[in-house]
Amino acid sequence: MAFRESKMAAQQRGSILLMVLVLIIVVSYVLTKFVERANVEIQGEGYYVERARLRLHAWSYLEVVVAVLADVKAIDNAIYAPAQGWGNPLDYAQIEVPEGLNVTIEFIDESAKLSINELDEGSLFLLFDEMGFNLDVSQTLTNTLLDWIDEDDEARIDGAESREYSTTELEMHPSNQPLASLDELSSIIGFRELFFDDD
């Protein structure tokens, strides 16, 4: 009988041990899932914090660039060449970039851009010629564009005013004012075929 009681006690201890092991496995699994989820949430928060920090740096460096340009203009009364010091504004302002941060500053000279609304006949013709169009096409593009912009209803040679537009599929007529946007060029006779692809 003593042997039987000790065998029963051993089985009870074994059952309890087995239950404890199962409980440890379940708790470990739940804890692992909790840690994984918390890690994902922390990384997500870190992304937004990092993005905000980088945006703050970008605005700060933009302010440095504007201050350097203002300083150079105040000293030289004009901004005309990167050799004045504004070509590398961080060096000019003696700003150190923190390690691990890459700052790129690029200047684009927009003074070389042409306003198509302000070009005269000769300049428009040269522009289209420089784009590689033959002389006849350059002349036609020039005249249709000028007819679209000018205030009168008199068609130039190879140009197009309201009368010419009424004979086309285009349900448009010249605006007789400067172009509001470059998309408006697609409404001008000759431009759609040469500049605007259906795709």
pLDDT tens, 70-121?
999 999 998 888 888 888 999 999 989 888 889 998 888 777 777 888 889 9
Q: Where are the chain's structural domains?
A: 2-111, 116-195
The DSSP secondary structure of 82-111, one letter per residue, reads: GGGTTTSHHHHTTPPPPTT---------GG
Q: What would the pLDDT profile of 54-64 be if each residue is shown by its tens digit?
A: 899 999 999 99
Distance CA 75, CA 191 (A): 47
* Cβ atoms of 132 and 153 closer than 8 Å: no
Residues near 181 by Cβ (< 8 Å), separated by ≥ 6?
none
* CATH number at 116-195: 1.10.40.60
